[in-house]
Structure 1
């Protein structure tokens, strides 16, 4: 079976506490995205969730990153783009009222991904609803702050590997027992996107890099 693509990165990149720790001392702020893109194949844009961004900002971000780099854009409403670009949608739930088979069925009907969000405050679900997986690791002990030890990251690496192979993890937390639709093409796995959002204590880039290392042996 052909593996789906795996991209592991960070949520946001402009954080003052990262300067001199993740970012080298003296690095210009305008060069931080380019530096992050040299370490990770994808970044989630947080600012688009809180306010509209100018077209010029998007042009600058695109110019600062490689052609094969992937941005995940957080938002509240639909986005209009040209048809040359593929647009996928994923929804992150933050209330237990979404723990229903009906909601999972609705996402599957429209091929919208269910964000697998690891956090102490919101539901953690792994029901597969689209041809890709979208994970946001916010910190399972302290929101936006706690890091992930190797034992926990190895568990996530096994999950990522299973998803990329078109399977489901043995420990998947689901609200429905109904099998997920197979990815398009019987021999193709699912694309997997993982973003670390535990930025407060400069854990996100460290944990993202470590998970990327651990996924490799898990794929064997």
Structure 2
């Protein structure tokens, strides 16, 4: 028993997935419909680069079944700035574009920071204070993807936990791995798929990540991962898990996600 585990990929429009993940001849207009019935979540990355029309959010909501969820990467104008505490206007613009149209199909918001962004305790705390708990009466959850080693700091973990924000767990060759449990959910991005494996990861690694996801959902802090603070803090409570196969050999990511879903039953 445990929280719900949602598994997916980044986006749904990618040329190599045609005749690979998508059936031959499937029209582009039906790709989201198809993907949402093979996966259980999709991370929307286009929102990082530009604002989407409110009608698009309504269309995406209607295209996917109940129980499916989207997460959305926040605009770069919110996170790629020298002083994060000055991001209030950009945050409001991003959240107000229409993502509340997703309603219960809205998963966490992903706030991704540049690999060069260094942890500034005061400035980051002020940024976190700008993140609202709801938008248009739809509850919001926030996940923080930090990619500079200075964030491997118990003070950062404490800041995230105090505000109920998840620290994104990254399986990446260059970015820090921070597995501390700081929110009522876990957000993980697996980024080491390889083209040589039909399912992106080897069967052993897929078994490993399925076991880790189950442990997270059950409220455990899995052994063998890296923690910046007290690894035992936050254990015990069941958590929903959002796990995305991102980057790496992108053409293999849907197969990896489906293999994980199969293992998770």
TM-score over 0.5 (shorter chain):
yes
Structure 2 match to 1:189 = 238
Q: How does 1:109-124 map to 2 (within 5 A)?
A: 109-124=162-177
Q: Quick one: structure 1 residues 141 and 93, their matched pair in 2 at CA, closer, same or farther if it must change by over 3 Å?
A: farther
More helix as a share of residues: 2
Q: Is the 8 A contact 2:9 2:257 kept in 1?
A: yes
1-structure distance, mates of 2:231, 2:222:
15
1:198 matched to 2:211: no
Q: Deviation at 1:125?
A: 1.5
Match of 1:138 among 188, 191, 210: 191
Name the CA distance, whole Å, in 2 between partners of 1:141 and 1:125.
23
Match in the other structure for 1:105: 158
Q: Structure 1: any 5+ residue segments left out of the alignment?
A: none
1:82 corresponds to 2:136: yes
Cα distance change of structure 1 residues 170 and 75 upon mapping to structure 2, 3 Å threshold: same
Work out the CA distance in 1 between the residues paired with 2:241 and 2:182.
13
**1:40-96: CA deviations, max 9, x gaps?**
12111010011111111111111211133211011034324221x221100111110
Instruction: Name the count of aligned residue pairs.
Output: 207
How far 1:26 sits from its partner (Å)?
A: 1.0
Structure ranking higher on relative contact order (CA contacts 8 Å, 6+ apart): 1
- After superposition, what is the alpha-carbon deviation per residue over 1:174-220, rounded to whole angstroms, capped at 9, x for unaligned? 0112532357xxxx51111101113744111100011112234xxxx
Q: Match for residue 40 of structure 2?
A: 41
SS in 2 for 1:139: coil
**Secondary structure of 1:56 counterpart:** helix
**3-state DSSP class of the match of 1:209?**
helix
Q: CA deviation at 1:141?
A: 6.9
Give the equivalent residue in structure 2 for 1:157.
210
Change in 2 beyond 3 A, CA 1:157/1:163: same
Deviations, residues 18-57 of structure 1 (Å, cap 9, x unaligned): 1011001111111100000011121110100111111111
Q: Secondary structure in 2 aligned to 1:203?
A: helix
Residue 57 of structure 2: aligned partner: 58
Distance 1:178 1:42, change over 3 A: closer
Match in the other structure for 1:171:
224
**Runs of 4 or more above 4 Å deviation:** none
Q: Secondary structure at the match of 1:14?
A: coil
TM-score for both structures, normalised by structure 1: 0.87
- Deviation readout 1:137-195 (Å, 9 max, x if unpaired): 122679xxx92111111111111111111111121210112532357xxxx51111101
TM-score (norm 2): 0.73
**1:4 corresponding residue in structure 2:** 3
